[in-house]
Amino acid sequence: MKVYETSIPGVGRKYELDRGTDRLVVLLRHDGERELYRRMDDENEKLLDLAGAEARKLATILAGGYFQPVEHDAVELPLGDAIIEWVDVTDASPLSGSTLDEAAIRGETGATVIAVQRARETHPAPDSDFEVRGDDALVAVGTREELADLARLAER
């Protein structure tokens, strides 16, 4: 991503981040205020105004100072190709109201349910007669594809 920097006399500095299809424009004013715009086809859309403290907080968040996401392609997983994810069950899901045995999740998706989160309560290693409800979160292990299949099943 290319960054262009321009001095604006009496105002401050302008930074433009070229993202290919559009540009993010940051105006850093001498008074410490920041303005953020999105430029597409020579039209500017103002996104927000930020005070100095707000801008520094946002910059820290964007830089990963509060949470450092994991780049999946660059990580060696201790479970091989398997990962653990939380999958939300909707009320309309065919899983809602059925037991884990009836749902046959592993046979349908290849994923394995290792726990169920219900409101503030966690049910680790649920038995096959555990009944799944809408608004449950299934903690499951499997490959990305298996977990994507489970998510599709849980959202229906």
Segments making up each domain of the chain, as ranges = 2-62, 83-155
Tens of pLDDT along 7-36?
999 899 999 999 888 999 999 999 889 999
Average pLDDT for residues 82-108, to the nearest whole number? Answer: 93
Is it the case that residue 77 has pLDDT exceeding 60? no
Question: Does the global pTM surpass 0.75?
Answer: no
Fold classified for 83-155? Alpha-Beta Plaits (3.30.70)
- Alpha-helical (H) ranges within 14-129 are 52-62, 100-103, 105-109
Residue 66: half-sphere exposure toward Cβ, Cα within 13 Å: 7
- The rounded percent of the chain whose pLDDT value lies above 70 is 91
Residue of higher predicted confidence among 130 and 65: 130
